[in-house]
Amino acid sequence: MNRIDQTFKEKKDVLNVYFTAGYPNLDDTIRIATVLEKAGADMLEIGMPFSDPVADGPTIQDSSQKALENGMTMVKLFKQLKTLRDHVSIPVLLMGYVNPIIQFGIDRFCDQCAEVGVDGVIIPDLPMQEYLEFYLGKFKSKGIHNVFLISPNTSEERIRLIDEESGGFIYVVSSSSITGAKKGIQEGQLAYYQRIQSMSLKNPQLIGFGISDKETFDTACTYSNGAIIGSAFIKQLDEDASEKGISDFIKTIK
């Protein structure tokens, strides 16, 4: 069984933490992943740096740019991840954009994901039809879940299609905006969460974008299987990327 499926089978209020590979330092990827699991994260989402991350706000954009300046590449990332499963047992997803994957080579990408123990991918700008035609078979043959995103503007018809074709979980984008830590949950967002919850989708759901503290995490968990924290954790790495700093941050959430 894929580690993502196993996690949702065994746990509630799943905390998925995003960080950018190669940030704040080039060789921090495995260290941060190891510390996050030890601190209590249930799932990891490792960002593949890209020069034009269209779904990301300034915080993650900046971390991506600095990681690229540090020398992070797809080749370097997979070299780092060769020791991933010596240190980390929880599910790991790679999050990034389709252009670098195409440049790297889709077959090569899938092979290396399987080799290092990546459980899933999140590719926000991968069109559904293109995925079904060119990627689905390759991902499935390697046991890699592909996670699609939905937003308040996503039609019920498309949500049902995504539920049918997704693997692992559905990424519920909390608002029609880019990533970024925001304070509190708006009333309109609760109605959206309730609408998704009432659809009784077969896949678990994690809420992301704007989840920044215990209040927003707990609220998200009320309406879903857990939540994703990204920008708020990147800001923590800006301030203190030590083991204690990371552990103390996770303890404020869970």
Catalytic choice (5, 28, 45, 119): 45
- Residue 181: pLDDT above 50? no
| pLDDT of res. 53 | 60
DSSP per residue, the chain: --HHHHHHHH-SSEEEEEEETT-SSGGGHHHHHHHHHHHT-SEEEEE---S--TT--HHHHHHHHHHHHHT--HHHHHHHHTTHHHH--S-EEEE--HHHHHHH-HHHHHHHHHHHT--EEE-TT--HHHIIIIIHHHHHHTT-EEE-EE-TT--HHHHHHHHHH--S-EEEESSSS-----SS--HHHHHHHHHHHHT--SS-EEEESS--SHHHHHHHHHHSSEEEE-HHHHHHHHH--SHHHHHHHHHHH-
Catalytic choice (5, 28, 56, 119): 56
The model's pTM: 0.93
For residue range 21-32, list pLDDT tens digits in order. Answer: 999 999 999 999
Rounded to an integer, the average pLDDT of 146-150 is 96
| pLDDT of res. 241 | 97
- Residue 177: pLDDT above 90? no
Let me know if 157 is a catalytic residue: no
For residue range 73-125, list pLDDT tens digits in order. Answer: 999 999 999 999 999 999 999 999 999 999 999 999 999 999 999 999 999 99
| pLDDT of res. 197 | 95
| pLDDT of res. 62 | 93
Let me know if 28 is a catalytic residue: no
